[in-house]
Amino acid sequence: MTATPASSPPENTERLTVRTRTSVLAQLRDRIAGDVYGPGDVGYLAARSGFNRLDVHRPAVIVVPANHFDVVETVRFATEEDLRVAVQATGHGTGRPADGGLLINTSRLSSVSVDPVSRTARLGAGATWRTVLDATTPYGLAPLMGSAGGVGAIGYTLGGGFGWLGRRFGLSSDHVLSFDLVTPDGTPMRVSDTSFPHLFWALRGAGAGGLGVVTSMEIALVEVSTVYAGNLFYPAADAEEIIRRFREWAPAQSEELTSAVAILNLPPTDDVPEPLRGRSFAVVRGCWSGDLDAGRAVVDEWRAWRTPVVDQWDVLPFAAIDAVSMDPTEPMPVMVTTEWFDELPDEAVDIVAGRVRPAPASAPLIVCGEIRHAGGAIARGAEHAPNDRGRAGQFLLELVAAVPDPQVALAVESTLRMARTELAPYVTGAAYLNFTSGSERVARSGEAFSPANRRRLAEIKAALDPADRFCHGDV
């Protein structure tokens, strides 16, 4: 669990490698219907790889369960063999690498069932938001998903889940009705507000992978089918002026609008539309989920102020919401960091713009700097959520840096660290877990919680997993 990061328990990786190359893996294969891989087995490399290729898992054992019962047996096996356990669905956000331990790849547990009468859905641990959307759209319903359909729904939700309907409806974690959980000793249980309420509270926003394996969850859906959404692209040179206008404009809007301002350094690749390819922009983006004419009028305020270079705001089916963030769909190595602001002073605006916007003729280290406007239902839900600090600010910054070559990884990490250091006088110090990864997720996880909530989470963790067997986190 991310509330109380601890150093990995010592393990004799050489001993584990020897044991897993003999009869031990064969015994596990006999116990489950899914796949089991050891280092060197065909399928091992593919099973350990996630979307973010920067942090590579080197587990002693990988299990790809075929059903809920496989997960139960796998966790019991890990207990018997004294293995640490990590969980990976899509691998968009990695935690501590599962080196020498057991990695559970939940990608095969991708079932989705929808009850349109109760407006609920049950999702398997490997389901992506695209799979959920495909199932809910025919009924005019939508999940509280994020900016990319390829992200794993459960890992995203365990970390909170701030998407394009957030200000109106809250975080994805607010809409969970129950979890099916396999605890660190291999006990399966249904966790809800009426059964194991302390665990239910902890799972809704305290981070992925620390209290066991969530094999499925039931969520409430919202009645949204059509939205007014998109991007206005302005010259990157105007970024400071546009961000300052946004910080005044966004808080004055209805909660039916969730919006952001970003600086994008777009690659010259085929998946980027031709007018935008290989260029840098300041972007005003978002999603209006109320009356469409009212939403158009709100965005018209920007058009009247200054004509954008490219205007992509339009009426969209919610199923096309990926078009707003334009996140990459192919696996890639990235670093991500985050900060919260209660206010957005000029000094902070200048730092963000200066760090993200590339100098002439230089290749950008940070490919995206986005500032989302929060508040609304996101902030109102903070009082009763475990990640109270990680959802209470007004503006949320995400910095994303691509790492195309391991040779530049240290330079990228240094750039992100310097940006956070410069911003330190202006931020709240809170972290939003879904916008952290790797070593930073481990180091900063406690910053999502108030001291009282962190103590409560530590008590829950200690009671359920005293050996800290589940000391990883992943999306």
Beta bridge partners of 121: 114, 219
Mean pLDDT of successive 10-residue stretches along the chain, which has 475 residues: 40 47 83 95 92 85 97 97 92 80 96 98 97 97 95 94 98 98 97 97 87 97 98 97 98 98 91 87 98 98 98 98 91 91 98 90 86 98 96 97 85 92 98 87 89 95 94 59
Q: Which residues belong to CATH 3.40.462.20 in the chain?
A: 226-436
Fold adopted by 13-105:
3.30.43
| Angle at the Cα of 335 from the Cα atoms of 331 and 336, rounded to 5 degrees | 110
Q: Which residues belong to CATH 3.30.43.10 in the chain?
A: 13-105
DSSP letter at 94? Answer: B
Amino acid at 317: P
Beta carbons of 217 and 110 less than 8 angstroms apart: no
Task: Give the class (CATH, top level) of 112-223+453-464.
Answer: alpha beta
pLDDT at 110: 97
**Total-model pTM:** 0.92
Tokens of 243: 């961000």
pLDDT at 267: 87
pLDDT at 408: 84
Q: Which residues belong to CATH 3.30.465.10 in the chain?
A: 112-223+453-464
Q: 240: left (phi > 0), else alpha (psi -120 to 50), else beta? A: alpha
Nearest to 399 by CA among 359, 348, 347, 445: 348
Buried b (16+ CB within 10 A) or exposed e, 148-184: bbbbbbbbbbbbbbbbbbbbbbbbbbbbbebbbbbbb
Taking each helix axis as running N to C, give the angle between helix 23-31 and helix 13-20, from 0 to 180 degrees, rounded to the nearest 10.
60
Among the four given CATH numbers 3.40.462.20, 3.40.50.1970, 3.40.1410.10, 2.30.30.90, the one describing domain 226-436: 3.40.462.20
